[in-house]
């Protein structure tokens, strides 16, 4: 079974503690408002405007920097690969 190729099927963001997007894998600034403080665990799936069934959003925290790594994947692709 193959994994999800995030570079072709989604977006990865790096968010710093000031809510600035350090990097976006697709080169555009997404029209969403991630709040660093609401991503308060080491990892998780936050509730936000994209977590409405159309996309699966998840994040993990860096153990070295104050950055959060956020992935945004189409729910169709996510569930196809999960099966």
- What is the per-residue pLDDT across 10-62, written as a single tens digit (0 to 9) for each? 788 899 999 888 888 876 555 566 778 878 888 777 765 555 567 778 899 99
Length of the chain: 83
* Phi–psi pair at 72, nearest 5 degrees: -130, 115
* More confident site: 47 or 70: 70
State the Cα–Cα distance between residues 14 and 70, nearest whole angstrom.
Answer: 6
> Under a CB-based contact definition with an 8 Å cutoff, are residues 14 and 69 in contact?
yes
Picking from 39, 60, 34, the residue whose alpha carbon sits closest to that of residue 49 is 34
Using the structure block, give the residue that is written with the tokens 């799936």: 45
Q: Which residues pair with 12 in a beta bridge?
A: 71
């Amino acid at each position: 079974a193959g994994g999800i190729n995030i570079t072709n099927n989604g977006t990865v963001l790096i968010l710093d503690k000031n809510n600035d997007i350090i990097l976006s894998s697709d080169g555009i600034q997404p029209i969403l408002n991630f709040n660093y403080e609401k991503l308060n665990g080491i990892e998780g799936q936050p509730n936000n405007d994209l977590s409405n069934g159309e996309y699966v959003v998840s994040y993990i925290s860096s153990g070295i920097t104050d950055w959060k790594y956020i992935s945004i994947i189409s729910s169709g692709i996510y569930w196809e690969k999960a099966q």
